[in-house]
């Protein structure tokens, strides 16, 4: 079975398989939606395409968090803010594409501005009628915020729980700001009623399929980039800062810059995820800045396995599939289930699904090797393979001594 | 006192933590190329002195100069490391989730900015240097093992190897033989004496056999200042040192 092979594969093969699956999905899912008759057993309904497209955006967000949390130990509880900012940038473009088709028929001003008696377009909405401007803003706004935030936080050596708290405060502050009508982003209603993206109707099946494909391809690209970063000398340094920050400083590395780069790249990835998300769900409102959203992302990454690239993607897909089912069947219990899941994973699966799988495979392999050696007879020259290391202690994994950086003396 | 021809120059240095004077009017001078052993009871301020030299702790008062002219109190850890001061921690600190080779690679002298690290490829010269160091610290056969799997003593050696990779002028080595067998201790003394041939070295150690093995000038710290200084025989004959070590 393909999933069995996928899990069993070594880290690099696993990455390659993930990328292949995503690229295949980018082709096959749209085909099965558009080119297959709805009567066929292979037909994928449009709502499923939109739903899974949304999950892929969440997976990209979880991967972004993994780069900083899994590989650098920065537990950001504010990644939802970068996601939402990317989403708002895309939403502003989509708003301006409505043109005079809005309720008030104003060719320049979006409906909510007419309603709020705006006389002219605020300056920060200029240019958003061009896709390329919006696309740059999708990258630049979250990236710049992360850079400035990280510059101050990492330079003043804010770490651990204090850093987590100020990232929460950041997303909460943005939540409050975006709720205000006079901010010019549509207040608590946010931005919605989108019509076109790049000239195509956002509601059309073909557009939805294209957005799904774009999400899958972007995620595949992000997996590749994260893998390349993590495998580089810089990536080793990132993990070194995670495990022994002061050691890196006394070797001459600027740990704050190491963190800042990863944090900024991660925020840009989160922004892209938000930008792909908004046209697929058709709305962006301040609720996306909700602190609990950012915490959910942490749960996805923890469930799948932080510091494994593939783990957070699997975690995001599984938890969100579970959420969709739960909110249909037992809506009032979802938050309890999520909280319980997080506690259970922290207690019983500290390395998440992927980590558990790896150590299980590692032990199984070691035992198989041991029994093979036994069968081969008691050859005194061949010492039996030692069952010393589980596969989970590969380079780059969380160090055996625990994830918290140790104070050095 | 003249600073010229000194590699490390501390004069009248004091530092307090919440009113407790961990370093008290400490003066210490190390000549270029010298190796010095520092002894002293627990809490004497040996590690804190290293913290001050490497920029981790700012002194409340006093002068700290490197190489005769660089005021170390005006620089931070990374800058000081780049100037050529390497430090081994009291608790051996290596990158446990990386292999031995990767540990050395991260320590190897070279540019310390992000983008070169992103696109870095190991050059033949770097590979040779890593091989050399692996030979010196006797971990060549373990090069691809995770540092987490090393014994305590091997971690100490790896950390010393990382210092060598950094190619500093001055090495500060805090308790290098803690947790080592007698054989390993002897080996380490030989290694440090070797290193001292073309580096300045400060070694903090409690193990008197080891200090004797080094055969260098000894400084005894107590309550944050120098209690006695000279050859090991001189220092260990000093009544005040005996009193401090035996308690009263
Ligand atoms: N950051 C700090 N905050 C508060 N007190 C500190 C700090 N660093 C050191 N001290 C105190 O300063 C004193 C000197 O500590 P230091 O670690 O330098 O001793 P040491 O000579 O290295 O001892 P040991 O042989 O046990 O390593 C101790 O009493 C210690 O508790
Ligand atoms: Mg000490």
**Tens-digit pLDDT string for chain A (409 aa):** 444 444 545 668 899 999 999 999 999 999 999 999 999 999 999 999 999 999 999 999 999 999 999 999 999 999 999 999 999 999 999 999 999 999 999 999 999 999 999 999 999 999 999 999 999 999 999 999 999 999 999 999 999 999 999 999 999 999 999 999 999 999 999 999 999 999 999 999 999 999 999 999 999 999 999 999 999 999 999 999 999 999 999 999 999 999 999 999 999 999 999 999 999 999 999 999 999 999 999 999 999 999 999 999 999 999 999 999 988 888 888 888 888 988 998 898 888 999 888 888 877 777 777 676 665 544 444 444 433 333 334 444 443 333 344 444 4
The string of pLDDT tens digits covering residues A136-155 is 999 999 999 999 999 999 99
Distance (Å) from the C-alpha of residue B158 to the closest C-alpha of chain A? 13
Cβ distance A155 to A268 under 8 Å? Answer: no
Q: How many residues does chain B have?
A: 248
**Sign of the torsion angle spanned by Cα atoms B134, B137, B142, B146:** negative
Report the predicted TM-score, pTM, of the whole model to 2 decimal places: 0.91
Mutate to test the pocket of ligand 1, among B10, B14, B46, B55 (most ligand atoms within 8 A of CB): B46
Cα–Cα–Cα angle for A308, A309, A313, rounded to 5 degrees? 115
Which residue from A382, A385, A402 is spatially nearest to A393, judged by alpha carbons? A402
Q: Do A237 and B106 touch (CB under 8 A)?
A: yes
Query: For residue A197, what is the enclosing H or E element?
Result: strand A196-197
Would an 8 Å CB–CB cutoff place A239 in contact with chain B? yes
Cβ distance A265 to B115 under 8 Å? Answer: no
Asked if CATH classification 3.40.190.10 holds for the domain at B6-246, the reply, yes or no, is no
For residue B87, give the 3-state DSSP assignment: strand
The string of pLDDT tens digits covering residues A332-350 is 888 888 889 889 988 988 8
Residue B99 with chain A: CB contacts under 8 Å: 395
Residue A147 with chain B: CB contacts under 8 Å: none
Cβ distance B45 to B22 under 8 Å? Answer: yes
Alpha carbons within 13 A on the beta-carbon side of B169 = 14
Residue A252 with chain B: CB contacts under 8 Å: 78, 81-82, 112, 166
Q: How many residues does chain A have?
A: 409
| Spacing of C-alpha B40 from chain mean position | 16
- Nearest bound ligand to CA B41? 1
- Nearest bound ligand to CA B38? 1
Buried b (16+ CB within 10 A) or exposed e, A352-387: bbbbbbbbebbeeebeeeeeeeeeeeeeeeeeeeee
Nearest CA to ligand 1 atom 9: B48
């Amino acid at each position: 079975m393909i999933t069995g092979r996928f899990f069993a594969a070594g880290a690099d093969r696993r990455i390659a398989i993930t990328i292949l699956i995503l690229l295949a999905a980018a082709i096959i899912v749209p085909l099965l939606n558009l080119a297959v008759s709805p009567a066929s057993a292979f037909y994928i309904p449009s709502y499923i395409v939109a739903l899974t497209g949304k999950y892929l955006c969440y997976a990209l967000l979880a991967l972004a968090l993994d780069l900083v949390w899994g590989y650098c130990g920065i537990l950001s509880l504010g990644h939802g803010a970068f996601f939402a900012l990317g989403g708002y940038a895309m939403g502003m473009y989509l708003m301006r594409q409505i043109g005079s088709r809005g309720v008030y028929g104003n060719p320049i001003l979006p409906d909510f501005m007419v309603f709020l008696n705006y006389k002219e377009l605020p300056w920060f909405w200029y240019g958003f009628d061009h896709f390329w401007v919006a696309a740059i803003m999708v990258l630049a706004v979250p990236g710049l915020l992360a850079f400035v935030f990280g510059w101050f936080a990492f330079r003043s050596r804010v770490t651990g729980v204090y850093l987590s708290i100020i990232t929460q405060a950041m997303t909460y502050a943005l939540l409050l700001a975006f709720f205000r009508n006079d901010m010019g982003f549509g207040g608590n209603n946010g931005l919605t009623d989108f019509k076109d993206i790049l000239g195509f109707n956002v509601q059309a099946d073909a557009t939805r399929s294209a957005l799904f494909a774009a999400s899958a391809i972007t995620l595949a690209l992000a997996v590749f980039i994260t893998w390349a970063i993590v495998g580089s000398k810089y990536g080793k340094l990132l993990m070194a800062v995670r495990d022994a920050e002061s050691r890196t400083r006394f070797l001459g590395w600027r740990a704050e810059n190491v963190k800042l780069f990863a944090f900024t790249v991660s925020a840009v990835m989160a922004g892209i995820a938000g930008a792909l998300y908004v046209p697929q769900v058709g709305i962006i409102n301040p609720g996306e800045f909700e602190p609990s959203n950012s915490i959910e992302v942490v749960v996805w990454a923890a469930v799948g396995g932080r510091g494994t690239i593939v783990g957070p993607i699997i975690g995001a897909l599984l938890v969100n599939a579970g959420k969709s089912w739960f909110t249909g069947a037992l809506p009032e219990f979802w938050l309890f289930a999520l909280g319980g899941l997080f506690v259970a994973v922290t207690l019983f699966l500290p390395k998440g699904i992927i980590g558990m799988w790896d150590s299980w495979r590692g032990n199984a392999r070691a035992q198989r090797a041991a029994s093979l050696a036994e069968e081969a007879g008691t050859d005194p020259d061949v010492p039996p393979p030692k069952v010393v290391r589980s596969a989970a202690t590969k380079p780059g994994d969380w160090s055996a001594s625990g994830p918290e950086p140790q104070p050095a003396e | 006192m003249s600073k010229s021809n000194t590699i490390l120059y501390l004069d009248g240095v004091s530092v307090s933590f919440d009113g407790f004077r961990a370093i008290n009017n400490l003066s210490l001078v190390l000549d270029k190329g010298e190796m010095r052993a520092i002894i002293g009871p627990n809490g004497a301020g040996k590690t804190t002195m290293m913290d001050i030299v490497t920029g981790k702790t700012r002194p409340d008062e006093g002068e700290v100069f490197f190489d005769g002219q660089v005021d170390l109190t005006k620089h931070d850890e990374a800058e000081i490391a780049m100037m050529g001061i390497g430090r081994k921690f009291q608790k051996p600190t290596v990158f446990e989730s990386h292999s031995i080779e990767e540990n050395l690679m991260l320590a190897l002298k070279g540019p310390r900015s992000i983008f070169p690290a992103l696109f870095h490829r190991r050059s033949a010269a770097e590979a040779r240097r890593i091989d050399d160091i692996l030979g010196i610290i006797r971990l060549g056969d373990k090069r691809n093992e995770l540092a987490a799997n090393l014994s305590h003593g091997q971690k100490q050696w790896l950390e010393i190897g990382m210092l060598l990779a950094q190619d500093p002028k001055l090495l500060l080595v805090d308790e290098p033989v803690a947790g080592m067998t007698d054989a390993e201790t002897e080996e380490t003394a030989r290694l440090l004496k070797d290193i001292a041939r073309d580096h300045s070295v400060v070694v903090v150690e409690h193990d008197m056999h080891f200090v004797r093995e080094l055969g260098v000038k000894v400084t005894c710290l107590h309550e944050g200042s120098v209690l006695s200084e000279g050859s090991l025989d001189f220092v260990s004959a000093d009544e005040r040192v005996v009193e401090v070590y035996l308690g009263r």
